[in-house]
Amino acid sequence: MRPQVLTIAGSDSGGGAGIQADLKTFQELGAFGTSVLTAITAQNTLGVHGIEAISTEMIIGQIDAVTDDFNITACKTGMLVDAERIEAVAKALERHRFEHVVVDPVMVAKGGASLLQENAIEALRTKLLPHATVVTPNIPEAEVLAGIKIRTESDRMKAAHSIRGLGVDVVIIKGGHTEGVEAVDLIVTESEAFQVSAPRIKTKDTHGTGCTFSAALTAELAYGKTLRQAVVDAKQFIHQAITHGLSIGQGHGPTNHWGHRLAKEEVITVDVLYETSAR
């Protein structure tokens, strides 16, 4: 049976990020995607021009309707807007206890618009992350969650352990904001740390990369893959989505969700930093 997965996120009218990117990714990977909208945005490749939040009652109603009928094995969250909606989603996650919960801590859109209110940071850290199995911040988001500046690899490791201390099982700090010929993601669990790398692609078409990666990871985990294999496959998926850009829109263009169909070569490398029974 195909895995049934859920995304709880905002709508991107431009189609490159949010609910739209998640559902496209689920479909490409053969998972059946369901969705819960938390907000509607007036958005395109040039930026976010308006945000209208969905009521908490409707958010909970959507979650309950989906879970009452579908066998959801993995769930991801994206744009959650504010503390009120984060707390509502966290309570729903506590009730439903999905096997895998991937939290993409969406804070800022590619064009710079804030997608998470300042009062929501503490709710994200204390209410939502304890229910997450995986969290996938980029460098700026990891700095906010950990409360430290990340300048070195040592800083990144320190931040990952700090974020794990908030109650999440697995921390993936993505490397898209770093320099270098490769984009290197750091993955830290209770018993291991490893990095996955892919060649960095020079392009402005990167809108929705975080949503797409976390959605791919959600689908791969729903198939029952090991964490390491799921991360590698999700990294491969987003790398091909960036590599085979669509070159549409006037700003930060969307990634190509069918890019994986155009090239099958494996470009991801894995570097194990440590493996131990406890850390």
Positive or negative, the CA dihedral 218, 223, 225, 229 is negative
What are the distances in angstroms from CA 208 to CA 17, 30, 161, 217, 242? 4, 20, 26, 14, 10
| From 210, 235, 253, 255, the catalytic residue | 210
| From 10, 208, 253, 259, the catalytic residue | 208
| From 209, 212, 243, 255, the catalytic residue | 209
Beta strands 47-53; 72-77: pairing state: unpaired
**112 an active-site residue?**
no
Phi, psi dihedral angles at 112 (to 5 degrees): 110, -10
**174 an active-site residue?**
yes
User: How many residues in the chain?
Assistant: 279
| From 34, 38, 73, 211, the catalytic residue | 211
**209 an active-site residue?**
yes
**208 an active-site residue?**
yes
**226 an active-site residue?**
no
Per the DSSP assignment, residues forming a β-bridge with 103 are: 77, 135
| From 174, 175, 189, 235, the catalytic residue | 174
**38 an active-site residue?**
no
Helix axis angle for 153-164 and 139-146, nearest 10°, is 50
| From 206, 218, 243, 255, the catalytic residue | 206
Q: Which residues are catalytic?
A: 174, 206, 208-211
